[in-house]
Amino acid sequence: MQLLRRIGLVLLWLAAPVVAFAAANKNDPYLLPLRGAGNIALAVASIMIVTVLLRRKHWRSTAGKLLVMLWCLPPVLMSAAHLKFELRKHDVLAASPAEARQLGPHFMVGYPSYPEVARLAEEGLIGGVYVTRHNIRGRTVEALRAELAALQDIRRAAGLPPLVVAADQEGGIVGHLAPPLTKVPALATLSGLAPDDQQAKAQEFGRIHGRELAGLGVNLNLAPVLDLKPPTRRNRLDFHTLIGQRAIATDPAVVSTIASAYVRGLEESGVGATLKHFPGIGRVRTDTHHFSANLDAPVKELEATDWLPFREVLSHSRSALMVGHVTLTAVDPDRAASHSKRVVEGIIRDTWNYQGVVMTDDLVMGAIYQHDVCKAAVEAINAGVDLLLVAYDGAQFYRVFACALNGSRRGKLDAAMLRASAARLERGFPTEQARAALLTRSTLEIARAAPRAMARGG
């Protein structure tokens, strides 16, 4: 019995700093699973442990007093972290209408709470929303469709432009709304077909995605992936990028052919495409969801290979361009491409003359968030990025928006860049077509027709 008590005390000493760290960082994206009930459980467990330690008179010794104090910390640190979050949230929600109009259109957010995102939409603090698994889990397609329509109604009543509504339906392993939407194979499965068959099947895949997304109220798909398939296996720490399974092919011409046809299928349904992840992550072994990553290839080599599909598809579509969080060392070794003026303005805008919508990859990814996300947000806007994506953890919107708001108030934002970006956003997406598309056909009918259409394509 004495041995068990000693083991228990050792475990309490080891657990106390871990729990305190988790409490102090309760709002960190990595601790998202602990939010809500998890935080309450930590606080209750800490209080119970303190109570047991006091009843057993551990406070009489110096070591015992220290242990009691350590277990008193988690609720205090958690309260302080919550207060900091609420103060930042209050500051964002108190932004003036002029500040909201200036900055709001440049933010796209994922959301777990409809009432909260409805307020952001009504006050013009966001320009778009991102829907994913948790928005559809345990719900019907009709419920999510009604929710998105209600958000657009709120915008209309407030005299604001429609929201950009984005989803991530690539096909294959990335299809965050499938089920209940149709699960379409990865575009990579088409790479071995004859060119005509590649185009026919890819366009049909795009139509299936486009019709279902448009019927739901989604007007922007975060697809297709244009990174070239890596010639070697990724490292074992690649838990989320998995580009080898998502990339279409190693041959830029094949990627261009399939991606172009897929984009045509999407656009026929009034849904915009997003080409990702420029400047390319096929050569990068590091998972930017968690770590910084460098792309060390020379620009001339990238222009002749990795960038060919991007330029080809952009030349004959209205696609948006997503910039990833890899550092293009030959152009700007000091910051990721997603907030590099040399990359966005120097290459995409000036060299390529692309004047469409550029968006960041999710700013909650470790390659950005675990560094100076405030600096990245300001630099991205000043570089000519149009949309800042805060997808995985929508609560981080308040932190990122506060960064931009503070930058604006301190005169650190380029007003000319903001005006040019606002003009691009205004003409950038076929939102009205998407809202009007397929309203006479139910998503269920489309889902039944999709497998037959794929079967006919061979």
Assess contact for 236 and 229: CB atoms under 8 A.
no
Nearest to 339 by CA among 427, 274, 400: 400
Helix (H, G, I), strand (E, B) or coil at 100: helix
Name, in order, each residue with C-beta under 8 angstroms of 88's C-beta and a sequence gap of 6 or more: 398, 399, 402
From 58, 106, 277, 289, the catalytic residue: 289
Tokens of 274: 């997003």
pLDDT value at position 239?
A: 66
Chunked into runs of 10 residues, the chain (458 residues) has average pLDDT values of 82 94 94 91 94 85 90 96 96 97 97 96 98 94 97 97 97 94 96 95 97 97 96 66 89 97 96 96 85 92 97 94 97 97 98 97 90 94 98 96 97 96 82 40 42 41
Active-site residue 238, yes or no? no
Name, in order, each residue with C-beta under 8 angstroms of 190's C-beta and a sequence gap of 6 or more: 197, 198, 201, 202, 205, 248, 258
Nearest to 226 by CA among 348, 291, 344, 311: 311
DSSP readout, 265-320? HHHHTT-EEEEEEET-STT--S-TTTS-EEE-S-HHHHHHTTTHHHHHHHHTS--E
CA–CA distance, 359 with 323 (Å, rounded to integer): 6
Note the pTM of the prediction, 2 decimals: 0.89
CA–CA distance, 209 with 172 (Å, rounded to integer): 12
Helix (H, G, I), strand (E, B) or coil at 235: coil
CA–CA distance, 453 with 455 (Å, rounded to integer): 5
pLDDT value at position 154?
A: 98
pLDDT value at position 450?
A: 43
pLDDT value at position 235?
A: 63
pLDDT value at position 285?
A: 80
Nearest to 314 by CA among 385, 256, 228: 256
Tokens of 454: 């794929």
Active-site residue 325, yes or no? no
Backbone angles phi, psi at 286, to 5 degrees: -85, 140
Pairing state between β 388-390 and 320-323: unpaired
From 238, 361, 362, 386, the catalytic residue: 361
